[in-house]
Structure formats: structure tokens, C-alpha cells
Amino acid sequence: MSTVQGRLRIAVQKSGRLADRSLDLVRDAGLRVVKGANDLLYKVENYPIDLLRVRDDDIPTFVADGVCDLGIVGENVLEEGKNGGANASVVMPLGFGKCTLKLACPPMLDYAGPASLQGLRIATSYPKILRRYLDEQGIGADIVVMRGAVEVAPRLKLASAICDLVSTGATLEANGLVAKETVFESQAVLIQSPVAPEPGLQHLLESIIERMAGVVSSQGAKYVMLNAPRSALDAITAILPGAGAPTVMPLMGRDDAVAVHAVCQEAVFWETLEKLKAAGASAILVLPIEKMM
């Protein structure tokens, strides 16, 4: 495959757990995505950008080789796919697709820490990440590579333990397995090619990255407005979650009180509002933020 002259390419998962959120991120960054002539390629109609829709396993290689300039993929897939050659670099974590690669085993196995795995067979789709973990722990175990349905391996006597991705833990539980160790924490990341785009596209590439960073940092962020007695200003500022220096403004005809406006980077829960109120705040408003840069 050769890159199309004069266009950037972003690799996204075609279908699966990351597909919808990846497309949302691209759209929220202001790219108008339209279906292309085939399923593999979607076009962006307001910029010279194409989306290449592929299996997630292929994304790190496409980006590393410069077939795509950017890609959205799970850190677990990126890490497992690393080889000796030039690799794609992580631009930023994206805050979705969170999951954990865990070691799990049936309750029958007498488990007292990683050393209990010595000499056993462990089934996984992530042999490289697992081997690195076992080496770090000084454990010699056999790894059985399975492409899917890893959780059935102990029941089929293919392995004594498994190392698999977990988000809620429901699959493990349904298969009578108990999570024991965290091997790798993962989420979706934006990755960038070590191969620079054509000079004419460099600026566009940077602006897409900056917009995506804006989308990610505004996720969950809220704009909080409230009135506060001057005397309670320090206490109230301390309660606002993840706020930098707030804007403090006078209130007409009130010398003892001020208006406080702040961008809160973390979730603002009802508990937070109750604490603010208890500290003396009134007329509290929490507003969503659409864009941030």
C-alpha cells in the first residue's frame, strides 16, 4: 500500500470495542467523516485526510511503517506488537478503552502469589507482555498462545491459569476464574508515525493532534460558577475538583461576596456541591464544556 499524495491517514479500528469512540474523537476534533468508495477507507470532506479502517492488530504496524500518520489503538496491542524496528510513538492517552491484563486462575489452584505459577501452563493472547512480566518476577512458566476464548482454557485443561484483558470482571466470573495479578494497565492511545508526512501536511497533522488533545482534556471537564463570601474563598477554591486558579469577580452592591468561575478538570459530583454549599457557596451552576484549547 502506498500513501496517497497530499492526504493524511489515520488508522482506526473498523469494528470492535474501540471503533465507535475512535470515530467520535475524530468527529469531535472537527473532521467531517463520510463513507468512501469501500469499507476500508472513509474520507474526511473538510480536510485532506482519510480514515483507514482496519483490525486493531494491524494499526501499530501501519503507523510504524508510515502507511498511516496517526492511529488509535489499545496500549496493550501497541505493546504486544513492538519489535526491534522503528515503532510508532504514543502522543497521548485518550481516556477510553480502559482495561487491565490480569492473571487469573480457578479457585482450586492453590495460589499464594506469582511464584505459584512456576512450571505451570498459562494461556494468553499477549505472550510478549506476559513473558516480560514473568521474567521480571523470575518465574519460569509455559505460555500457550490463544487468539480468543482464553477464559475457557482452564476448563479444557489447556492451561492452569490465564492472562487476559478484563474490564468489569464479568467474563472471568462467568468462567469461574479469580483475578490474581495485574500484568498491564491499558487504555486507547493516539499514536504517531516515526515517518514524517509530506512537508505540506505537517501543519495539518499538528493541528489535528492539538484539537484531539483539546477534546480529551475537555472530556468530563465542567465550568462551575458560584457566589461565595469573601471570607470563604480559600475553603471553596480548595473544594473545587481539579481547578486551576479560579476567576474571582465582584458582585454588584455586595462587598462581602464575590462570584467565582472555575474550569474543573475532574468530575463534579453532588457530594462536591454539598460541600461547596456547606462552605458558604450559593447560586452554584455546573455547565458542560464543549471545546477547550
Q: Contact residues for ligand ATP (CB under 6 A)?
A: 13, 16-18, 55-57, 74, 76-77, 97, 99, 165, 167, 186
Report residue 60 as a C-alpha cell.
501499530
State phi, psi for 56 to the nearest 5 degrees.
-60, -30
Q: Pick one of 28, 57, 65, 173: the residue that binds Mg ion (CB under 5 A).
A: 57
- Kind of pairing between the strands at 89-93 and 188-192: antiparallel
Count of CB atoms situated within 10 Å of the CB of 151: 20
- Please, is 8 exposed, middle or buried when counting C-beta atoms within 10 Å of its C-beta (0-12, 13-18, 19+)? buried
Nearest Cα neighbor of 44 from 85, 75, 8, 71 is 8
User: What does 33 interact with, of ligand ATP, Mg ion, none (CB < 5 to 8 A by kind)?
Assistant: none
Specify the residue, 13 or 192, whose C-beta has the smaller distance to ligand ATP. 13
State phi, psi for 122 to the nearest 5 degrees.
-125, 125
**Cα distance from N-terminal residue to C-terminal residue, the chain:** 35
Q: How far is the CB of 41 from ligand ATP (least distance, A)?
A: 16
Q: How far is the CB of 237 from ligand ATP (least distance, A)?
A: 36
User: What does 186 interact with, of ligand ATP, Mg ion, none (CB < 5 to 8 A by kind)?
Assistant: ligand ATP
Chain position whose Cβ is nearest to ligand ATP: 74
Regarding 56 and contact with Mg ion (CB under 5 A), the answer is: yes
Regarding 58 and contact with Mg ion (CB under 5 A), the answer is: no
Specify the residue, 20 or 234, whose C-beta has the smaller distance to Mg ion. 20
Specify the residue, 13 or 265, whose C-beta has the smaller distance to ligand ATP. 13
Q: How far is the CB of 211 from ligand ATP (least distance, A)?
A: 23
DSSP state of 175: T
Binding site for Mg ion (CB under 5 A): 56-57
